[in-house]
A = this chain, B = another copy of it.
Amino acid sequence: MIDIQNQADTRDVPLQKVGVKGLRYPVQVLDKTFKTQQTSGVVDLFVNLPRHFKGTHMSRFIEIFHKYHKNVSMKQFLAMLDEIRRRLDAECAFGTLAFPFFMEKQAPVSRQPGMMSYECTYEGIVSAESSRFYVSVAVPVATLCPCSKAISTRGAHNQRGIVRVTLQSTVFFWIEDIIAVVEQAASAGLYSVLKRSDEKFVTEQAYDNPRFVEDVVREVYIALRNFRCGGDAVRHEAGKSAEISGDTFSVPATGAGVPFRWFSVEAENFESIHNHNAYAYTEYSGQE
């Protein structure tokens, strides 16, 4: 049967990315409490296409992802991309996997448990020489406006906001620890179940901790710059390698430097007094 994709192309236009988008798949990711967690993901997979090829063979992306979907730790995700790159004879493979990450969280006073959901994305870029891996986590929080509190004789407007952190790391870290960093930087964290004693607690906590989107972004930035893997953070011995769900990860020495080569922090508030949102964004790239 004729292989049209494999024919030569004479138009002399290389393509940076060719592939598949919006593939929905059940996926299994790592979980600090239960080792693994089953969730549902949306996958995009690409390779670059040199100028002399007419097309790529899109079925191969899915054949390869299918083999990996039952274990998509960060490490396996890069291995999957590398297999795509080699199988499709490409210089570079790219992929993203977006999924809701679930975590049980207790109310602050009553200790009632409820599940929280955090939108996460893996992004990987793999060539023969190197690879990069990014994780982003979107954490919903409450923010209370410092200006509104300062100028009003009673009350202060507050609202739900989303803080999205994107991290480039070569060492292992838990998504759960990033969520904790973000929640501590907001006026208050969110919960699925809040009894009245809890509602009083978070209302007063938010009133006592007013934060602009600018403040939230700066507080998360500082906390991530000071973030140290090892010890509690990974529940594994610092400076050694750790085996998690069949993979071996290196755990940085306690007190080692910033474990992230690059990160960005953005906060978006669904303002309670406007029908538009307030937004702030910053990046860390090693140099300050």
A21 adjacent to chain B (CB < 8 Å) = yes
0/1 interface trace, chain A 253-281, chain B, CB 8 Å (1 if under)? 00000000000000010111111111111
Contacts of A244 in B (CB 8 A): none
Chain B residues contacting A193 (CB-CB under 8 Å) are: 59, 62-63, 66
Main secondary structure of the interface of A (DSSP, over half): mixed
Number of copies: 4
Q: In the complex, which of the residues B2, B66, B114, B283 contacts A113, with contact meaning CB atoms closer than 8 Å?
A: B66
Contact A191/B273 with A25-B115, A281-B15 known, Cβ cut-off 8 Å: yes
For residue A58, CB closer than 8 A to chain B, the reply is: yes
CB distance from A38 to the nearest CB of B (A): 4
Assembled-state Cα–Cα distance A233/B65 (Å): 31
Q: Which of A85-93, A124-132, A148-156 contacts B (4 or more CB under 8 A)?
A: A148-156
> If the complex has contacts A13-B222, A16-B281, A191-B273, are A24 and B55 also in contact, measured as CB distance less than 8 A?
no
| Residues on A facing B (Cβ under 8 Å) | 1-5, 9, 11, 13-26, 37-40, 44, 46, 49, 54-56, 58-59, 62-63, 66, 69, 99-100, 102, 112-117, 140, 142, 144-160, 188, 190-197, 199-200, 202-204, 206-208, 212-215, 217-219, 221-222, 268, 270-283
CB-based closest 9 A-B pairs: A155-B207, A24-B117, A38-B38, A152-B203, A23-B276, A17-B281, A13-B218, A21-B277, A140-B275
Known: A192-B275, A270-B270; 9 extra A-B contacts, CB below 8 A, are A13-B222, A15-B280, A15-B282, A16-B282, A18-B280, A55-B214, A159-B270, A191-B273, A191-B274
